[in-house]
């Protein structure tokens, strides 16, 4: 397939000028054509180039000057994981979305890509002839390009900023103002964000919801939560497909040095463990005799997600009532906000990650703007705050 160029590639142009420029890099002519058509149909993005190999992308990146690259993993001459650092070396603020089929090897490579600076990943369907799979791929890819590209245009810094050491003395102010104007995509309020008091009830469980940027955020957060994990169960819903959640659970176990695994239907919920919702299944908690147990279901997507955060948050109220602390991390959409409202109404508390440290401030932003948060904090301050709350702090 010939290389197609669109728009002016002069590096001096502002990111605000014109639609998002997307470079598609995949050795499959079918996938390149499909993605290019989808991008071309959007009013706010355009195909900057359609390339077959990572080597072509590296050699032409400065001339093409894209905002976003959709980068396949398996390609001839130079594969995606090898091309990734070379592309970022030539264009530091390039948003790279890795694309791969759902295999364990590709899931491992995708996690490695995130550690090397990729903004996100997306699983490709085994066959584009499967309508539902192709529709999901289409929807998710366009949303990732749009949201990650919007963040790039708001902030000239690297898409995934390095994490600073946690500060145990940091506290959230009563009123928090966003560090930068939020895009209309989030429908955020123009005024200051207000917080509410933390619950006076001692938390007995920690619930965490996350999406885009979540794997990096989760692995950073759980390294600080050892004392909490020893005391209470930790349940996590990360928007992620099967196989990828298996790998994420292994990474969480290594990062936290605590038992972490995909949740199993019917297993009891105990302190000292991290339970991760498996890809493709909603995770809820139910009462089983005198204790809590995991309940997985294969029902329809919630908030366009499966697993979704809201089912976990809402179900936990029947078990722990107001003794719940929930954390909403970086991610697209508003999943977790409605469940967070239910938790607050029951007497529990919600912490949201702040905009500056979020890859996408959709989920935490929705919670913050709904007025349900007791704190809106940078990622590197959330762990310390959670530890203090479980140690008895109520402020």
- Which residues are identified as catalytic? 211, 239, 335
Q: Tokens 């957060």 map to which residue? A: 221
Q: Residue 148: CB partners within 8 Å, gap ≥ 6?
A: 68, 95, 97, 119, 120, 159, 212, 359, 360
Contact 54, 71 (CB under 8 A): yes
Of the candidates 258, 280, 276, the residue with the CA atom closest to the CA atom of residue 267: 276
Contact 370, 337 (CB under 8 A): yes
Contact 345, 316 (CB under 8 A): no
Of the candidates 242, 318, 317, 14, the residue with the CA atom closest to the CA atom of residue 326: 317
Cα separation, 135 vs 368, in Å, equals 31
Cα separation, 104 vs 278, in Å, equals 14
End-to-end CA, the chain: 60
Q: Please give the structure tokens belonging to residue 367.
A: 């919670």
Element (H, E) at 120: strand 120-124
DSSP codes, 246-257? HHHHHHHHHHHT
Contact 279, 255 (CB under 8 A): no
β-pairing, 324-328 with 375-377? unpaired
Cα separation, 246 vs 259, in Å, equals 13
Cα separation, 376 vs 395, in Å, equals 13
β-pairing, 349-353 with 375-377? parallel
């Amino acid at each position: 397939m010939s290389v197609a160029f669109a728009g002016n590639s002069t590096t001096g142009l502002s990111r605000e000028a014109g639609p998002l420029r997307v470079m598609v890099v995949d050795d499959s002519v079918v996938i390149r054509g499909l993605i290019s058509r989808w991008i071309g149909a959007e009013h706010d993005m355009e195909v900057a180039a359609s390339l077959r190999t990572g080597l072509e992308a590296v050699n032409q990146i400065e001339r093409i000057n894209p905002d976003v690259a959709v980068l396949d993993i398996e390609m001839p001459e130079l594969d995606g994981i090898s091309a990734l650092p070379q592309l970022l070396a030539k264009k530091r603020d390039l948003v790279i979305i890795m694309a791969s089929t759902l295999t364990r090897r590709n899931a491992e490579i995708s996690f490695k890509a995130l550690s090397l600076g990729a903004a996100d990943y997306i699983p490709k369907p085994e066959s584009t002839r499967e309508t539902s799979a192709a529709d999901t791929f289409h929807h998710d890819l366009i949303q990732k390009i749009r949201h990650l590209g919007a963040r790039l245009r708001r902030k000239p810094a690297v898409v995934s900023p390095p994490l600073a050491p946690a500060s145990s003395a940091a506290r959230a102010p009563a009123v928090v103002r966003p560090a930068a104007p939020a895009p209309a995509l989030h429908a955020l309020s123009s005024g200051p964000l207000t917080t509410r008091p933390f619950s006076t009830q001692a938390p007995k469980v920690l619930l965490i919801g996350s999406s885009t940027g979540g794997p990096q955020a989760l692995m950073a957060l759980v390294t600080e939560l050892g004392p909490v994990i020893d005391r209470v169960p930790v349940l996590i819903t990360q928007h992620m497909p099967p196989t990828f959640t298996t790998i994420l659970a292994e990474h969480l176990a290594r990062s936290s040095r605590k038992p972490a695994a995909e949740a199993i239907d019917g297993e009891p919920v105990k302190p000292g463990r991290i339970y991760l919702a498996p890809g493709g299944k909603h995770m809820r908690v139910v009462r089983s005799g005198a204790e809590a147990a995991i309940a997985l279901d294969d029902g329809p997507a919630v908030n366009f997600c499966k697993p979704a955060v809201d089912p976990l948050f809402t179900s936990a109220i029947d078990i722990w009532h107001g003794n719940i602390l929930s954390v909403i991390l970086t991610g697209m959409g508003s999943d977790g906000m409605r469940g967070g409202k239910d938790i607050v109404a029951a007497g529990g508390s919600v912490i949201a990650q702040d905009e500056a440290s979020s890859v996408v401030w959709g989920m935490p932003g929705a919670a913050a703007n709904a007025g349900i948060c007791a704190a809106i904090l940078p990622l590197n301050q959330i762990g310390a705050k959670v530890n203090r709350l479980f140690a008895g702090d109520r402020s």
